[in-house]
Amino acid sequence: MTTTFEQARELALKANAPAWRDLGNKGEYMVADYGYEDADAWLIVDGAAELLVDHDYSFDVLDQPYTLVMKATGELIHVQYLEAADRIDKMTPVGDVPQDDPDA
């Protein structure tokens, strides 16, 4: 099975939305319609809609892990940026990444 970007977004939403609420994070959880990829994984851009859409940084969650979805299996892996900085920095954009995206 090869996981498409849209499937990866759905998997991340289903898995991460309940945890977002359970952890008491502020704002409405969302998965952006853009992200990043390498040969093996999709990097999902997610978090509070108030941050991703409205750019209200009071909704930023410090130390929020990045969500990677493995293309071959659909498995979700959560990593801290410092654990995977080289990999994340080499990923290419998927979709219409806003110019003001800090990862662009």
Q: State the pLDDT at residue 104.
A: 53
Rounded Cα–Cα distance for residues 12 and 24 (Å) = 18
**Mean residue pLDDT across the chain:** 93
**pLDDT tens, position by position, 59-91:** 999 889 999 999 999 999 999 999 999 999 999
Mean pLDDT of 14-18: 96
Residue-wise pLDDT tens digits, 46-59 = 999 999 999 899 99
Strands of the sheet with 92-94, listed across from one edge: 76-79, 66-70, 41-48, 29-37, 92-94
% of the chain surpassing 70 pLDDT = 96
Domain boundaries, the chain: 5-94
Q: pLDDT band at residue 103, thresholds of 50, 70 and 90?
A: low
